[in-house]
Amino acid sequence: MKIGILGAGAMGSGIAQVFAMNGNYSIYLCDLTEELAEKGKKSIDKTLAYQVKKGKMTDSEKNAILDRITIGTKEIFKDADLIIEAVKENMQIKKETFKELDSIVPANCMFASNTSSLSVTEMSNGLSRPVIGMHFFNPVPAMKLVEIIKGLTTSDATRDVILELTEKLGKTPVEVEE
């Protein structure tokens, strides 16, 4: 499965790290510029280097995790199966971002937002697919809980895929109604 993470700040890079550590996913870490995406990947490298120093993983394990993460801008999402948006908590920015992605990604690509308070139903308005909430807590690698927010237009099938995916990451999904 190809997972796109939009936003390479603390939340986005943490989400990318968790997926990359799983080993079963190709990760696309994206931001407004490649430099910002690279900064996010360097943050992951720093976090993993600390784990190596503590003896919790080997240097080769760290490098394998980093190798699963490709950085770039939105165009790298052209074959993604799931996009998790982790940009500024602003409805207008999120809606514009999803609208732009809607024309880039394949028809079967799912959209998720790492929102903690905004309506995923409203984010879905005008898109060819609904948005589901997939709210991770900070720091993402350490926190087990993930809120799964099913919007009014989100299908049960999408919810089920996201619940299963969350469990495969070793996280605890909690369903929250919008």
Q: Give residue-wise pLDDT tens across range 84-142.
A: 999 999 999 999 999 999 999 999 999 999 998 999 999 999 999 999 999 999 999 99
Residue 178 has pLDDT above 90, yes or no: no
Please identify which residue in the block is written with the tokens 């600390």.
Answer: 50
Return the pLDDT at 23.
79
Q: Give the tokens for residue 74.
A: 């939105």
Q: Given pLDDT bands bounded at 50, 70 and 90, which one contains residue 3? A: very high
Residue 42 has pLDDT above 90, yes or no: yes
Give residues with Cβ within 8 angstroms of 154, minimum separation 6.
Answer: 120, 121, 124, 130, 131, 132
Per cent of the chain over pLDDT 90 is 97
Angle in degrees, CA 66, 67, 72, rounded to 5: 85
pTM: 0.96
- Tell me the sheet residues that pair with 6: 30, 85
